[in-house]
């Protein structure tokens, strides 16, 4: 008998016009960031939870932004362990980690660290992006320990 969590499906992101390039990249195994063509600053792929993409560079205010591939490497900046079951589909995974990863490009993004016991998580540990295919069309960037 499968457990309840196995019969429930986890929420899957639905790309909109603004986020479609990011998810197209993720499906190809490429982590895309927003990049300023004027000064070279990299920015988060989102404008923040529930907000649209930033229309301008956070450093020089230029409006000339593009999607550019990140190297996919970074370090663990911070993390928390989630013990609360907010969604029954995640019941089998608590406690799971929610990490803030500082990419080599200077951008911090929220993701899960996979393939590493929560007890082994250390601030500053080197990480590399990996992609979890959650549906035919959607892959989600996660991070694993870099050796
Ligand atoms: Zn700029």
Q: Where are the beta strands (DSSP E) in the chain?
A: 32-36, 42-43, 65-69, 73-82, 96-103, 108-111, 126-133, 139-145
All residues at 6 or more sequence positions from 9 whose CB lies less than 8 Å from its CB, including other chains:
89
Question: What is the Å distance from ligand 1's center to 64 Cα?
Answer: 8
**Separation CA 12–CA 115 (nearest Å):** 21
pTM over cut 0.85 = yes
Ligand 1 center from residue 57 Cα (angstroms)? 5
Q: What is the pLDDT of residue 19?
A: 87
For residue 55, the CA-to-ligand 1 centroid distance in Å is 11
The predicted-structure confidence for 112-137, as pLDDT tens digits, reads as follows 999 999 999 999 999 999 999 999 99
């Amino acid at each position: 008998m499968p457990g309840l969590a196995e019969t429930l499906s986890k929420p899957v992101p639905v790309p909109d016009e603004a986020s479609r390039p990011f998810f197209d990249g993720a499906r190809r195994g490429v982590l895309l960031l927003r990049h300023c063509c004027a000064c070279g600053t990299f920015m988060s792929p989102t404008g923040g939870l529930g907000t649209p993409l930033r229309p301008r560079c956070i450093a020089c205010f230029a409006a000339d932004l593009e999607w550019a591939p990140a190297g996919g490497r970074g370090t663990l900046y911070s993390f928390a362990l989630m013990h609360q079951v907010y969604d029954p589909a995640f019941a089998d995974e608590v406690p799971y980690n929610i990490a803030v990863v500082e990419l080599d490009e200077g951008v911090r993004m929220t993701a899960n660290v996979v393939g590493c016991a929560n007890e082994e998580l250390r601030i500053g540990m080197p990480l590399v992006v990996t992609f979890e295919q959650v549906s035919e069309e959607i892959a989600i960037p996660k991070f694993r320990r870099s050796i």
